[in-house]
Amino acid sequence: MNPKNKINLFLIIVIFIQFFYIFYTQRTETQKAYTDHEEKIINAINTIKPSVVRIDAWSTEGKPKELGSGIVYSKEGHIITNAHVVKDTEVITVTFYDGKKKTAVLIDYSDQYDIAVLKVDPTNIKLVPASFADASKLQIGQTVIAVGNPLNFGWTATIGIVSGLNRNIKANNRIYEKLIQTDAAINKGNSGGPLINLNGQVIGINTLVYRGKSGAEGMGFAITSNVARYVAEDILKGHKLVPTRAWLGIEPIEITPALAERYALPVNYGIYVKVVYPDSPAEKYGISTGDIIIKIDDELVDSVSKFKILVESKKPGEYITVTLYSGNVRKVIKVKLDVKSK
């Protein structure tokens, strides 16, 4: 074979290899079982599943009281769930992702925040604590996934988006504050389980479905990861829910438009300061009886329950910025919170 023919043969082989490579890679991409976005969802679910547990609770009469979900919080055997799943129960059983079961002890719970902490014996079991993200950075439209045990179907995952933030809902004889709203399906048995982001991190604790009088669907709500961790840490520190919670030192009354009109108040919303307690942070920093608090930091204060959430979500010693009206004069005061037990 002459040199010219050898070169031509070599070029034909190179072209054939390139063609085959392009054909093969395109065929492989075409046959891929899922998209990049779906892969993120799959990875997130696989990340969180070992941290999700099933919770069965029985009443003192031995009757099944509640089916719920929970989240492994520590390698020492601590588990976070909803208070309404486990309170007023005699026996609590936790089933882990690998099928192992443990009897749990209820350490304590907060009715106000609907958060409870359980404890299981950590021996002879693989505990995979979940990773928690900062829920304050959530955006409406962000993809989220609810994982739990709805209607006895274990480790079910449903997908949706963040439909709303800072929702206030009155349900189950309590007022829930600053909830995450999602259209990810949440049903009986999901309570206490995680709402996660696409990194497999917990951003909320699935808590309730709200149907209202119209029977609306697609309105699930979750307690933020920030509140859940705050309450859980309080419980684990031995606080009795919680004597060392941050305290401003006033007795508040909620202002309504009717009340504002009747007394010619400068605003028709906010918190009226009925009493300022002696030696309280409020007294020390110049808040007086008759003042109207309208904002704490950058949050509008439009209810007593929201006022309590905004103050009690802080730690003693932290500062808050209080915007208020003293008569018709608007003031901004920086206040260092203290401990009520003092």
pLDDT tens for each residue of 247-273: 899 989 999 899 899 989 999 999 999
What pLDDT score does 241 carry? Answer: 47
Residue type, 65: K
Instruction: Spot the catalytic one: 69, 110, 191, 313.
Output: 191
Give yes or no: 239 in active site: no
Confidence band for 336, pLDDT divided at 50, 70 and 90? very high
Instruction: Spot the catalytic one: 114, 234, 291, 338.
Output: 114
* Helical segments of the chain, H only: 3-30, 36-48, 83-86, 225-236, 257-262, 281-284, 304-312
- Model confidence at 279: pLDDT above 80: yes
- Model confidence at 303: pLDDT above 90: no
Average pLDDT, the chain: 87
Cβ–Cβ < 8 Å for 41, 145: yes
- Which residue, 319, 334, 339, 153, is CA-closest to 243? 339
- Model confidence at 64: pLDDT above 90: no
Q: Torsion angle of alpha carbons 151, 108, 130, 134, nearest 10°? A: 110
Q: Can you point out the beta strands (E) in the chain? A: 52-58, 64-72, 78-81, 91-95, 101-110, 115-119, 143-148, 156-171, 174-182, 194-196, 202-209, 220-224, 246-247, 250-254, 271-276, 292-296, 299-300, 319-326, 329-336, 338-339
Confidence band for 171, pLDDT divided at 50, 70 and 90? confident
What pLDDT score does 285 carry? Answer: 96
Confidence band for 243, pLDDT divided at 50, 70 and 90? very low
- Model confidence at 245: pLDDT above 70: no
- Model confidence at 113: pLDDT above 90: no
Cβ–Cβ < 8 Å for 236, 79: no
Give yes or no: 59 in active site: no
Residue type, 79: I
